[in-house]
Structures are given as C-alpha cells and as structure tokens.
Structure 1
Amino acid sequence: MSAAESTQQSANPVEYIQHHLTDWCFGCDPTTHKPSSLIDFHAFFFDVWLMAALVAVALGVIAWRVGRRLDPDAPSGMQNVLEMLVEFVNQQVKDVFGSRVNPIIGPLALTVFTWVLAMNFIDLIPVDFIPGIAGWIGVHVFGQQHVFFRAVPTANLGAPFGLALTVFALVIYYNLKVKGPVGYLKMFLFHPFGKYFVPVNIVMTLIEEIAKPLSLALRLFGNLFASELVFMLIALLVFTHTTLPSVLLWFPVQVLSGLAWSIFELLILSLQAFIFMVLTIVYLGMAHTDDH
C-alpha cells in the first residue's frame, strides 16, 4: 500500500493500525500478508532485515570514523560518548564476572546494547515517515501496488527472538566449554533439588533454560510493540478528522501527546536495551561458573 493510499484510509482507525502493523514480507500469504503459521521458514520480513542492517552499517561507520580519529590526549565529541559507553558496559561485565572476564563478553555486550538501542530509537521517528518513503519507493521503483513497511525491527517478534536465540546458543556453548558435557548434564540431573529428585530436576532446569531466550525476546518485543501502537493511536488523533476546525482543535493535542510520549519513551527504549544487555551478561556469567 502506498503512502497516499494509507492517508486515504486513515479515516478508518482499524485499517490504519492494521496497515502499520503489517510487514513487507516475501513468502507470506498474498491476501493476509502474514506468515502461514507461527513458525514459517518461507516468510522473509524484508523490512526487519533492511532496517536492522542499515542500523548495523550506521553503527559500524560511526565506530570506524571515531576509530580513525582517536586522540587519547584530547578526546572530544563522539569519542567521549563512546568511551563513556565502553566504560559503562565494561563495568557491568566486571560486576557479573569479577576478575575472570572472558575478553569476548565486553565487545558482545557493547554490540548488543548499541544495536538494540539504535533499533529501538527508530520508534521515535514519526510513525508515517519511513513507511511513507518505503511506500513511494515500492510503487515507483519496484512497481508494486501495495507496500507494507514496519520501521522498528524490534517491534517484530522475529528480531528479538533472533537476538535471544543467538545469546542462548552462546550460553549453551560456554556451558559445555566451562563445565564440560558431563558437568552440563549434571546440571540438569541434580539441580535444584539434589540427586533424589532427578525427574523433577530435569523438568525444572529445562524450564529455567528455555525461559532465558523467552524472557529476553518477549520483554523487548512486548515493550516495543506497545510503544509502536501508542504512537499510532496518537497519530489517529488528527488523521481521523476531516474538517478544518476539528483538525485545528486536535492538532495541538496530538503534538503535545506525541512530545510527552516521546520523552517517556527515551527512558523506556534505553531501559529495554540496558535490560537486554544485562541479562545477556548475567546468563553468560552463569554459564562461566563451575557450579550452577
């Protein structure tokens, strides 16, 4: 759907919200534009991959430019910001790992935090801006009649789950590396109730391990999805009105509401990136201990 079509249908709040909650998906049902099932390996969410890749490239370019201009004697500008960020992340890692810090954990935690934070902050861009650009490109460049586009990757369940499963794979890897296959198996057999409750221990430990990626993914997705929905509702304060007096009446309310929610979102979006990073460090820290 193009940007013009989106505006024309804006008088219908349900269609407006459904349009903005639909991904640009290849391999999805051509009528519903949704995957055929919850797990559908034929579905490719192009907008999620595109926005996540653009954010990653932008972060890489920023890091490269700052790295080329490092001045240890007189740091300024972005170098100061990045140095503060690196020190902040390193302190979180040291608080969990103590003196035995795996050298990979710090860069991993920094990457997770900055990437998730940058993807989250896309939510602060006006809700129709990026989909409008994507709609124009889709119609005039690709010749498509209907283009759907969700700008915030972390508001799609696939992106948070992809990140969470990557962290979970690292947790399993370091559990096997530090504890060994036998030690990792003992964790399932004898934790948390000892050797006399092996069946219960297996079930409880499995639930505990599965809860790690679920908690990472669903917390991030739920908060970003709710935030995205609130911005759509704020946008509808004006879009559902067609007469000039009603538009003039509701436009200041929309601006003030959007500004207030954006200020609140600065805290929420940053907090969600911080929580994702901290839980990643904690889970990897637990994997690096000899006991459970």
Structure 2
Amino acid sequence: MAGEALTPTSYIQHHLHNLTVGHGSPWALHLDTIATSVLMGLVMVFAFWLATRKATAGVPGKWQAFVEICLEFVDRQAKDTYHGTSKLVTPIAITIFFWILLMNLIKMIPADFIAMPLEALGVPYWKPVPTADVNATLGMSISVFFLMLFFSLRAKGIGGFTKEFLTAPFGKWMLPFNLILNIVEWLSKPISLAMRLFGNMFGGEIVFLLIWVLGGAGIAGALAGGVFGFGWMLFHLLVIPLQAFIFMMLSIVYLSLSEDAH
C-alpha cells in the first residue's frame, strides 16, 4: 500500500491481512503464517542444538544451564499432570510450549518493523504473529486432538474406546445421549484450545496496532502511545509465556484424560 494515505482503520486492516495464496478457495494458504511458524520451529531446534553441542556433565555453560532449567520445568509440569506411562508426553509438552512461546514473542516486534521492509521488496501483506491466525491455532489443536485419539486407542483398544464412547456416562440404555455428549466433549476440547490462544493473541495484536496509530496523532499522541505501548508491552511479557503454558498444560490434561476409563 505504498503511496496511499492510510486511515487508522485501513492501517489496522492492512496489518491484520495475511499473505494468501488461493484466496477464496477452500485450499487457501496463509504463506506468512506458514513461513513464520516454520522459522520459529527451526529457531527452537537450533537453540536446543546449541545447548547440546557442547553439553558437559560438569559445570554447564550459561546457555546450557538456561535450557536445562527450562526443560526441567516443562518436564516436571508434564510428569505432575500426566498420569500415564508414555515417554512421548514430555517431548510433546516441550515442543508445544517453546514453539508457541517463540511464535508469541514476535508480538514484541512492532508490526511496521517487519511489514515495511517486506513491502519495499514487493510483499504487499505480512501478518507476523502466527498465533494471531486462527488457522495456525486450529492446526495445532487438531494435532492435539489426533494425539488424544492415539493415546486413547492405545490405552483402551478399539473395542474399549468404542464401548466407552457409546455407553459412558449414562449406561448402554442411553446410547443416543451418550453419543451426542461424547461427540460434543471431544470436539469442544480442540476448538476451545485453539480459540483461547487465538483470541488472546489476536486481541493483543489489535491493541498494539491501536496504540501505534495513537502514536501518530501529534506530540501528545506520541507521548500517550509511548506510555500505553510500554505498559501493554510489559503486560504482554506475562501474557506471552502464560498462553504458551496454558496451551501446553491443557494439552497434557487432555492426553491424560483420554487414557482414563469413565
């Protein structure tokens, strides 16, 4: 949108617009969400690789010590929450928490700092925060949903899972009601998981953009924008890890519940 006069509304809409391929089709892809998500995943893997590259059993380096503290924290939370015996839960928890944390942290970079250089290179739109895109959060929650199915089938078998799905919690004579209740329960978990993360991150993105717009309204607006922006940034330093933690913990709880007999 170079050369066009942006109103506050069009400015916000512009920064909330995804770089889309196949717009309007059922198979449309948000390239910015995909690219940034993959990049943050690679950053996570590279950061962990750096910590293990020169790992020592003696006195660890600063980065190794920091990574070990973070991993021990997630491992402890996973073991306290999950009551089964699967060795997959801790790696799943680590991946979910740190990947979402890195994607959320992009919010700390002002949108123009990313969008304007890309516009100069001919990229018209770039929505930088993947977790502010409902497609990304739904993708992650659907992955958790399939993990729930896998854990449940592994623990109960197809027969046990089917019997429980049709007879719990009201008994076999209330089969239609059991079926409806269990379908709603299973579908509501990934949907609520996705919408909680998306709602918090998307709402925070809008507030950041509103504050950024306020900063362009003269000296008084710039001062107010600076104060509000700094306060909102400090608040989001708590929100960003908290949302990653909540998504991780709920995922572990759902995996644990999927193995429990009803």
TM-score bucket (shorter structure): over 0.9
Which blocks of at least 5 consecutive residues in structure 2 are unaligned? Answer: none
Superposition deviation, residue 287 in structure 1: 2.2
Superposition deviation, residue 231 in structure 1: 0.3
Q: In the alignment, is residue 50 of structure 1 matched against residue 61 of structure 2?
A: no
**How many Å separate the matches in 2 of 1:160 and 1:260?**
26
Name 1:152's counterpart in structure 2: 129
Provide Cα deviations, 1:104-128, integer angstroms capped at 9, x if missing partner: 1101110000000110111111121
Letter of the 1:284 counterpart: L
Q: Does the residue aligned with 2:127 lie in a helix, a strand or coil?
A: coil
Name 1:220's counterpart in structure 2: 197
Letter of the 2:251 counterpart: T
Which blocks of at least 5 consecutive residues in structure 1 are unaligned? Answer: 29-34, 140-146, 242-246
Name 1:200's counterpart in structure 2: 177
Name 2:54's counterpart in structure 1: 69
Worse-matched range after superposition: 160-169 or 249-258:
249-258
**How many Å separate the matches in 2 of 1:274 and 1:16?**
32
Superposition deviation, residue 256 in structure 1: 1.1
Letter of the 2:121 counterpart: I
**How many Å separate the matches in 2 of 1:263 and 1:106?**
30
Q: In the alignment, is residue 277 of structure 1 matched against residue 253 of structure 2?
A: no
Superposition deviation, residue 217 in structure 1: 0.5
**How many Å separate the matches in 2 of 1:230 and 1:178?**
45
Q: In the alignment, is residue 252 of structure 1 matched against residue 259 of structure 2?
A: no
Name 2:235's counterpart in structure 1: 264
**How many Å separate the matches in 2 of 1:9 and 1:63?**
45
Name 2:89's counterpart in structure 1: 105
Name 1:244's counterpart in structure 2: none
**How many Å separate the matches in 1 of 2:68 and 2:5?**
47
Letter of the 1:95 counterpart: D
Superposition deviation, residue 44 in structure 1: 1.1
Provide Cα deviations, 1:215-263, integer angstroms capped at 9, x if missing partner: 1100011111100000000011023x3xxxxx22221211111110011
CA contact (8 A) 1:93 1:101 kept: no
- The list of structure 1 runs, each at least 4 consecutive aligned residues, that deviate by more than 4 angstroms after superposition, is none
Worse-matched range after superposition: 189-198 or 47-56:
189-198
Q: In the alignment, is residue 187 of structure 1 matched against residue 164 of structure 2?
A: yes
**How many Å separate the matches in 2 of 1:185 and 1:77?**
50
Superposition deviation, residue 96 in structure 1: 2.1
**How many Å separate the matches in 2 of 1:226 and 1:75?**
40
CA contact (8 A) 1:9 1:15 kept: no
RMSD, matched Cα: 1.4
Superposition deviation, residue 101 in structure 1: 2.8
Letter of the 1:103 counterpart: K
Match of 2:63 among 67, 78, 89: 78
**How many Å separate the matches in 2 of 1:138 and 1:61?**
29
Name 2:121's counterpart in structure 1: 137
Name 1:32's counterpart in structure 2: none
Worse-matched range after superposition: 221-230 or 62-71:
62-71
CA contact (8 A) 2:82 2:255 kept: no
Superposition deviation, residue 268 in structure 1: 1.1
Name 1:125's counterpart in structure 2: 109
**How many Å separate the matches in 1 of 2:243 and 2:198?**
10
Letter of the 1:79 counterpart: Q
CA contact (8 A) 2:79 2:90 kept: no
Superposition deviation, residue 164 in structure 1: 0.5
How many residues get paired? 262
**How many Å separate the matches in 2 of 1:101 and 1:113?**
20
CA contact (8 A) 1:155 1:225 kept: yes
